[in-house]
Amino acid sequence: MDIDKALLFIKNNNLIGIRAGSERTDFLEIWMVIVQNRIFARSWGLAERSWYTTFLKNPVGQIKCADAIYAINAGIPEDINLLTEEINQAYLTKYNVGQNRKYAMGIIEEKHIEKTMEFIICDIIS
C-alpha cells in the first residue's frame, strides 16, 4: 500500500471523495488537508446527518484519490489542540483563493474547528 500517493493526491487536489460508515453508496467530495503527514477534514454543513456524525457512530469508511480507494478509520485526534493552528494554516494555504476564500476563512471558525476529524489509512481497496 502506498500511503504517500494518497497524501500527494490530497495535497494537490481540492476535492477528495469520502464515504462515511458502511451504509453509504456514493462518495461525497470534501476539503481535506495534510498536516505532519496526517489527513484532516472539517465538517462545513454541521448537519445532523453528515459524514462527520456518521464517523462518530462508526469510524470505518473510505477515501477516493483518483482511481484508488483507501479504507480508513476516522476519529478525533487526541492531540487536536496542539494541531489546530497548523490545520487552520493548511486550510488557508490550500483553499484561500478565488471563490473559495470566504469558505477558507469560515472553515477556521470555532464551530468548524470543533468538527475536525482525522482519517487514518488502513488499506488500499482498489
Q: Per-residue pLDDT tens for 70-116?
A: 999 999 999 999 999 999 999 999 999 999 999 999 999 999 999 99
- Cα(52)–Cα(44) distance, integer angstroms: 10
Using a CB cutoff of 8 Å and minimum separation of 24, what contacts does 65-69 make?
65/5, 65/6, 65/9, 65/10, 65/13, 65/16, 65/17, 66/9, 67/126, 68/5, 68/6, 68/9, 68/124, 68/126, 69/124, 69/125, 69/126
User: What digits encode the pLDDT tens for the residues 41-64?
Assistant: 999 987 778 999 999 999 999 999
Total residue count of the chain as it appears in this document: 126
Residues near 13 by Cβ (< 8 Å), separated by ≥ 6? 65
Amino acid at 29: E
Is the backbone of residue 87 left (phi > 0), alpha (psi -120 to 50) or beta? Answer: alpha
Q: Are 6 and 43 in contact (CB under 8 A)?
A: no
Q: What is the pLDDT of residue 113?
A: 95
- Residue type for position 124: I
Biggest CA-to-CA distance, the chain? 36
pLDDT at 22: 80
pTM of the model: 0.94
